[in-house]
């Protein structure tokens, strides 16, 4: 094989391929700048495979904590990336809208209904753009939940009361249903507000746990017919998994006949098989549920060999507070919105100090604050626990989202100064799914201006992006992409310092070659951040 401009050099056991600087420049720039509109750099054509990414999946009537950010944003990046790589993607949210915790809520609400919480929506205007989190109907509901758990410690009879309510709910009791559906609506409105803020979307929010309710009996029947069900303690029904190396049996029905979390997951998997004919189903759920998914997948394998190898739990580490685990029950949690607000405020203060004239500074502060929080999450190892401290999570310097966003904004500023339509060349049209369409740009013929080692280093990091994006899908985590974006931003900084772009003494072809590299870098950064759910401001 002959690669023009390349030489092969033997070095001990290795064979090194050396690219002439202009060859590398031509190859990388053409890949980025001449990519077809519907097929941006690093993306791949449709491959006929279907992937379900199930993520976020918060429990109704609980508030979104910083812990939920992990599933939501890791899942979002996985969905975006798989689609970018040619998979057909279904984004599902297995909302926790069914289960014993509703017994608790119904018991708590009815117990204290006459008190000040009687109308959860009283004095609350849903149209308010940024309602105080501690006044929302969902917060009021959450307080009832926390109170119930606190009082239940001294009064175990309350536990039966909660169980009784869940039984009524499963039996179709009208009052229980009415309240459940109201609690669900209140929660969904608030979750939607947060998803909008995060820019995260799902195929539907209507396929939570409750959706599978009428499929629970048929699911149990199938398990029964397959000879898998055995009687456990106190009339409970279980499936033994010892033969496949799992010591704990999978409980699918409680002694009182009510369903459990696992039953609903089994029903959901069976439903998804028929509805989506998927090749892969990813569950972006915390490490605390490893055993649960081992059990579910093992049961499915026994029931229908079709499932073998298609199901994948991609666990992530829990977010802890320095003083220990967060606990919604006890009410010691960090709310996601507080973190996003604080990050935005810190950025806003810096903008006020350094660049008070900045256009659209409120939007920029939001983009950078979000960039800091989301990027921080991605830079962490997916499965290790994270200890939350304000300073770490919303740090603005070091290997952070704002560092990458800053590199992008700096390039845009160079391109604006260059005049002509240079800046427009780095601006994307409306996103097509995970793809940002950029207009076609022909690579300049003379690339001599990119021979300097700093320019070559930047081209090298840009060339690494497709591999990093592939690694996101293969390893089911955003970390490789986040790291590569930092590497590109850092290489850009070296290029910018050492290779003057708009210096008056530059020959026109040097200037054009360097501007073309700027455009390519801006596009790559913007697209990469977009896959992670982060926006890149033009100016900051």
Binding positions for ligand ARG, rule: CB under 6 A? 54, 57-59, 94, 96, 265, 283, 285
Give, in degrees to the nearest 5, the angle at Cα 458 between 6 and 81.
Answer: 100
CB of 60 to ligand ARG, least distance (A): 9
CB 134 to ligand ARG: min, Å: 22
Q: To which H or E segment does residue 280 belong?
A: strand 280-283
Cβ 410 to ligand ARG shortest distance, Å: 40
Contact 346, 317 (CB under 8 A): no
Look up residue 33 and give its two tokens.
Answer: 């700048």
When the beta carbons of 106 and 266 are compared against ligand ARG, the nearer one is 266
Beta partners for residue 358, in sequence order: none
Distance CA 512, CA 500 (A): 12
Identity of the residue, 33 or 285, whose beta carbon is nearer to ligand ARG in the bound complex: 285
d(CA 392, CA 369): 13
Tell me how far, at minimum, the Cβ of 388 lies from ligand ARG, in Å. 18
Task: Please give the Cα distance from 35 to 440 (Å, whole number).
Answer: 7
Instruction: Give the Cα separation of 302 and 310 in Å (integer).
Output: 14
CB of 534 to ligand ARG, least distance (A): 24
Q: How far is CA 535 from CA 41, 363, 530, in A?
A: 18, 10, 6
Task: Please say which residue, 260 or 358, places its beta carbon nearer to ligand ARG.
Answer: 260
CA quadruple 455, 459, 465, 467: dihedral positive or negative?
Answer: negative
For residues 120 and 296, which CB has a smaller minimum distance to ligand ARG in the complex?
296
Q: How far is the CB of 290 from ligand ARG (least distance, A)?
A: 12
Interhelix angle 336-354/361-379, rounded to 10 degrees, is 130
| Beta bridge partner(s), residue 387 | 320
Buried b (16+ CB within 10 A) or exposed e, 272-297: bbeebebebbbbbbbeebeebbbbbb
Of 263 and 479, CB closest to ligand ARG? 263
With beta carbons less than 8 A apart as the criterion, state whether 375 and 401 touch.
Answer: yes
The residue nearest ligand ARG at its CB is 96
Nearer to ligand ARG, 278 or 283 (CB): 283
Angle between helices 216-225 and 290-303 (to 10 degrees): 60
498 CB neighbour count, 10 Å cutoff: 12
Q: Are 289 and 313 in contact (CB under 8 A)?
A: yes
**Contact present, 399 and 486 (Cβ < 8 Å):** yes
Q: Which is nearer to ligand ARG, 204 or 432 (CB)?
A: 204
Which candidate, 32, 25, 30, 20, places its Cα nearest to that of 443?
30
How many residues make up the chain in this entry?
540
Smallest distance, ligand ARG to C-beta of residue 270, A: 13
When the beta carbons of 283 and 297 are compared against ligand ARG, the nearer one is: 283
Q: Which is nearer to ligand ARG, 94 or 511 (CB)?
A: 94
Closer by beta carbon to ligand ARG, 310 or else 410:
310
Please report how close the Cβ of residue 121 comes to ligand ARG at its closest, in angstroms: 24
Distance of closest approach, residue 327 Cβ to ligand ARG, in angstroms: 13
Q: How far is the CB of 446 from ligand ARG (least distance, A)?
A: 55
């Amino acid at each position: 094989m002959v690669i023009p401009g390349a030489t092969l050099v033997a070095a001990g056991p290795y064979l090194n391929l050396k690219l002439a600087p202009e060859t590398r420049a031509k190859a990388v720039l053409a890949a980025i700048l001449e990519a077809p509109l519907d097929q941006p750099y690093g993306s791949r054509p449709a491959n006929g495979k279907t992937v379900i990414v199930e993520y976020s999946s918060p429990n109704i009537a609980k508030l979104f904590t910083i812990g939920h950010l992990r599933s939501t944003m890791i899942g979002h990046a996985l969905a975006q990336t798989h689609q970018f790589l040619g998979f057909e993607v279904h984004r599902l949210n297995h909302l926790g809208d069914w289960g014993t915790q509703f017994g608790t809520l119904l018991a708590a609400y009815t117990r204290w209904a006459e008190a000040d919480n009687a109308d959860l929506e009283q004095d609350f205007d849903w149209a308010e753009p940024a309602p105080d989190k501690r006044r929302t109907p969902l917060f009021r509901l959450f307080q009832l939940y926390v109170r119930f758990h606190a009082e239940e410690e001294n009064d175990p009879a309350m536990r039966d009361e909660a169980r009784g309510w869940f039984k009524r709910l499963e039996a179709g009791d009208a009052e229980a249903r009415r309240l459940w559906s109201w609690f669900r609506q209140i929660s969904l409105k608030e979750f939607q507000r947060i998803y909008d803020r995060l820019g995260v979307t799902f195929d539907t929010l209507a396929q939570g746990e409750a959706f599978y309710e009428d499929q629970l009996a048929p699911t149990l029947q199938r398990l029964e017919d397959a000879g898998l069900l055995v009687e456990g303690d106190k009339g409970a029904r279980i499936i033994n998994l010892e033969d496949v190396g799992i010591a704990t049996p999978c409980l699918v029905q409680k002694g009182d006949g009510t369903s459990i979390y696992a039953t609903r997951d089994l029903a959901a998997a069976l439903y998804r098989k028929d509805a989506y004919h998927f090749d892969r189903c990813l569950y972006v759920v915390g490490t605390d549920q490893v055993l649960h998914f081992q059990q579910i997948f093992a049961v499915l394998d026994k029931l229908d060999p079709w499932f073998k190898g298609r199901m994948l739990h991609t666990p992530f580490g829990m977010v802890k507070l320095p003083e220990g685990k967060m606990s919604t029950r006890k009410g010691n949690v960090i709310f996601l919105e507080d973190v996003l607000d604080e990050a935005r405020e810190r950025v806003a203060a810096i903008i006020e100090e350094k660049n008070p004239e900045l256009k659209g500074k409120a939007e920029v502060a939001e983009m950078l604050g979000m960039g800091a929080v989301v990027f921080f999450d991605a830079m962490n190892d997916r499965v290790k626990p994270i200890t939350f401290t304000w300073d770490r999570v919303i740090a603005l310097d070091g290997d952070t989202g704002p560092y990458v966003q800053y590199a992008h904004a700096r390039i845009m500023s160079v391109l604006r100064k260059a005049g002509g339509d240079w800046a427009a060349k780095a601006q994307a049209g409306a996103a097509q799914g995970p793809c940002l369409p950029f207009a076609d740009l022909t690579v300049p013929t003379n690339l001599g201006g990119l021979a300097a080692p700093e320019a070559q280093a930047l081209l090298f990091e840009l060339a690494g992006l497709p591999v990093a994006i592939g690694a996101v899908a293969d390893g089911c985590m955003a970390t490789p992409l986040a790291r590569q974006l930092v590497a590109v931003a850092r290489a850009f900084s070296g290029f910018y310092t050492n290779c003057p772009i708009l210096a008056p003494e530059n020959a026109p072809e040097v200037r054009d070659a360097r501007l073309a590299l700027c455009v390519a870098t801006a596009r790559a950064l913007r697209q990469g951040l977009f896959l992670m759910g982060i926006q890149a401001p033009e100016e900051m």
